[in-house]
Amino acid sequence: SANAPEVPYVPTPEPTVEGMLSLAGVKPGDVVYDLGSGDGRIVISAVRNHGASRAVGVDINPERVKEAQDNARRASVEDQVEFRQGDLFDADLSGATVVTLYLLPTVNERLKPKLLAELKPGTRIVSHGFDMGDWAPERQTQVDGRTVYLWVVPEPG
């Protein structure tokens, strides 16, 4: 959309992908959403390496979506993953149990109210590189010099 933020495509290195999904504690039963899913590596690893039941990627760039779908087929996980073309700010996040992010500080700040409004209590959010302003993370860790942050959506009130 005209208001879509301009976040460049920069893939998360594979060890950091594994660190993000481990910090989130992804396990069977989880439904993982990667907002701005690039080549699909986080979505694919969530299912293939961490046993997530399903994973969904949203990317505004149709070329990235096509590439991610090709990568999912190559990894034989196409039945458990879905890549949607669109603005992540328009995506319905209510089905997620884990959300992963590698965006920009300003985009995380803008996204915070949507995350808190749409995600179920207990949903885990992990971000590579960027924090969430005044929402202090529950944990943070370093993977290969990259910082990875974890938040857990609180009960309302």
- Provide the binding-site residues for ligand SAM, judged by CB under 6 A: 4-5, 7, 9-12, 34, 36-38, 41-42, 58-61, 64, 87-88, 102, 128
- For ligand SAM, the closer of residues 88 and 153 by Cβ is 88
Instruction: Work out how close the CB of 139 gets to ligand SAM at its nearest, in angstroms, rounded to a whole number.
Output: 19
Strands 31-35 and 54-59, by their bridges, are parallel
Scanning the structure block, which residue is given the tokens 């209590």? 121
Which residue in the shown chain puts its C-beta closest to ligand SAM?
36
Instruction: Work out how close the CB of 157 gets to ligand SAM at its nearest, in angstroms, rounded to a whole number.
Output: 31
- Determine the 3-state secondary structure of 57 from DSSP: strand
Q: Can you tell me the distance from the alpha carbon of 57 to that of 98, in angstroms, rounded to the nearest whole number?
A: 12
- For ligand SAM, the closer of residues 17 and 153 by Cβ is 17
- For ligand SAM, the closer of residues 61 and 94 by Cβ is 61
User: Following DSSP, what letter does each residue of 83-112 receive, concatenated?
Assistant: EEES-GGGS--TT-SEEEE---HHHHHHHH
